[in-house]
Amino acid sequence: MNPIYPVVWSNNKVLLIDQTCLPNQYTLVEISRYEDMAKAIKTMIVRGAPAIGVAAAYGMYLGAREIPSQDREIFLKQLEKVAEILRQTRPTAVNLFWAISRMLKIAYETIGTVEDIKNILLQTAQLIQKEDLQTCQAIGNNGLKILPANPEKLTILTHCNAGALATAGYGTALGVIRSAWTAGRLKRVYADETRPRLQGAKLTAWECVQEQIPVTVISDNMAAHCMKQGRIDLVVVGADRIAANGDAANKIGTYGLAVISKMHQVPFYVAAPLSTVDFELETGEQITIEERDPSEIYQVGNTRICADGVDYYNPAFDVTPAALITGIITEQKTVKPKELITLK
């Protein structure tokens, strides 16, 4: 299996792995308009905070490419509209906003013609993608340093998908797992299925199979039982937004997993790039939590599993308090949540 790259620039268009089709079908979606990119982000064809950031950066270029005016002021005003449409796709993942802001900044700072700005925007999107891949590899290497010395080979539990599919490649939490596997430190991965969209069962397990990493899928409510049996040595998860105090928003169910880990004295780590840290937010209480369509709960595939007349609540994320997090693994180093501010 070749390396997994969920976002690829090729022949003047973006190719996305359609993650809604995995693991049953590997399909590429061609994106050549920014509105199609916005739809792909919103419908989770592309997902995972860093991957969303990369996709949004290319979306900004595609939007710029569609603007016909050669007048700088008119062009920049239209580019702001493109940015706003992309911002509205996913409210929780801070990498989305970070990438859009970076693209806008370079557009305003570039001296030259509108065509010069467009060229720089494409180069910047490609640079964001390259940087994220390097960042994930650095996170993986730093993750090796926090692994317990014993047992020699570890069993690591992860939640949702923070792998190559969620980034430019390699992954954050799954990047740590990949590095552990390559270094001969990993015995097995336990992957929470991650209701309601089953990213763990569908995506994380698929990635592990591609690289022949031993993986066991469990339902979300089995984690406590597995820890009590001594099956889990370590938990590593990703994040979509981290506040300055170390509170971390990740896929719904992460908070409960952290509580369980604390009870069983299992180290609980968050792996994420510094671009996922929103230093403007003092605590996780300020993080906007996306609520998604109730159909994700009341049906699996095309099969309805709930009775008519039932009400639903479907938050896509929860916030894990910093007090429950052993450490945050970044591309610079691993820090305790209270030390995160020193990396600003």
Question: Measured at the alpha carbon of residue 8, what is the angle toward residues 4 and 10, in degrees to the nearest 5?
Answer: 135
β-pair type (277-278, 154-158): unpaired
Residues listed for the chain: 344
Q: Of residues 192, 240, 247, 278, which has the active-site annotation?
A: 240
User: Which residues, listed in sequence order, are joined to residue 107 by a DSSP beta bridge?
Assistant: none
Tokens representing residue 239 in the block: 């994040």
DSSP 315: B
Asked if 59 and 8 touch (Cβ cutoff 8 Å), the reply is no
Tokens encoding 97: 């906003």
3-state secondary structure labels for all residues of 35-48: HHHHHHHHCCCCCC
Where are the strands (E) in the chain, listed by range? 7-10, 13-17, 28-31, 154-158, 186-192, 215-218, 234-237, 241-243, 248-251, 268-271, 277-278, 299-300, 303-304, 317-320, 327-329, 334-335
User: Rounded to an integer, what distance in angstroms lies between the CA atom of residue 177 and that of residue 213?
Assistant: 9
Tell me whether residue 240 is one of the annotated catalytic residues.
yes
Q: Compute the distance between CA of residue 64 and CA of residue 86 in angstroms, rounded to an integer.
A: 13
Contact 177, 149 (CB under 8 A): no
The residues that are catalytic are: 240
